[in-house]
Chains A and B, each alone.
Chain A
Amino acid sequence: MTGVASAGPPALELADVRYAYPDGHEALRGISLRVEAGERVAVLGPNGAGKSTLCLQLNGILTPNQGSVSVSGLRVGGKGLKEVRRRVGVVFQDPDDMLFMPTVEQDVAFGPSNLGLPGDEVRKRVERALAAVGMEGAGGRAPHQLSFGQRKRVATAAVLSMEPEVLVLDEPSSNLDPRARREFGEILSGLSQTIVMVTHDLPYAHEICERAIIMDGGRIAADGPTNEILADAELLAAHDLELPHGFVMNHH
Chain B
Amino acid sequence: MAAGDSPVHRLDPRVKIVGLIGLVVVSVSLPPGAWLAFGALAAILVGLVVVARLRPLHVLRRMTVEVPFLLAASVLPFAVEDGVVLGVTVGAKITIGVLAMVILSSTTPFPRLLRGFELLRTPRLIVEIVAFMWRYLHVLGEQVSNMRTARAARGYSARFFWQAAASTGSLVATMFVRSLQRGERVYLAMLSRGYTGTMPEVAVERFALRPVDVSFLAALAALLVLVRVLLP
Contacts and interface: CB of A to CB of B under 8 A. Distances in A.
B195 A114 contact: yes
Given A97-B182, A110-B202, A144-B139, A102 B114 contact: yes
Interface in A105-123: 105-106, 109-111, 113-116, 119, 122-123
Contacts of B201: 113
B68 interface: no
A102 B134 contact: yes
A115 B200 CA distance: 9
Interface stretch (A24-32, A72-80, A84-92): A84-92
B135 interface: yes
Contact of A85 (B134, B192, B203, B205): B192
Contacts of B139: 96, 144
B196 interface: yes
Given A97-B186, A102-B134, A142 B111 contact: yes
A122 B185 contact: no
A114 B131 contact: no
Contacts of A116: 200
Contact of A113 (B131, B135, B200): B200
Q: Is the interface of B mostly helix, strand, loop or mixed?
A: helix
A61 B190 CA distance: 10
A38 to B, nearest CB: 22
B204 interface: yes
Contacts of A59: 192
Contacts of B205: 105, 140
B192 A101 contact: no
Contacts of B142: 144
B200 A114 contact: yes
Contacts of A140: 111, 205
A103 B193 contact: no
B134 A122 contact: no
Q: Is the interface of A mostly helix, strand, loop or mixed?
A: helix
Interface in B40-70: none
Given A97-B185, A97-B189, A144-B138, A102 B131 contact: yes
Contacts of A82: 194, 196
A149 interface: no
A98 interface: yes
Given A102-B114, A102-B131, A114 B192 contact: no
Nearest to A122: B204
A12 to B, nearest CB: 15
Contacts of B138: 142-144
Nearest to A116: B200
B192 A89 contact: yes
B82 to A, nearest CB: 47
* 4 closest cross-chain pairs (CB), A and B: A114-B194, A113-B200, A102-B111, A144-B138
Given A90-B192, A100-B186, 6 more contacts: A82-B194, A92-B185, A101-B135, A101-B202, A119-B203, A162-B193
Interface of A: 56, 59, 61, 82, 85-86, 89-90, 92, 94, 96-103, 105-106, 109-111, 113-116, 119, 122-123, 126, 139-140, 142-144, 158-159, 162
15 contacts: A86-B194, A89-B192, A94-B185, A96-B182, A97-B189, A100-B135, A102-B134, A103-B111, A110-B195, A113-B203, A119-B203, A122-B202, A139-B204, A140-B111, A143-B135
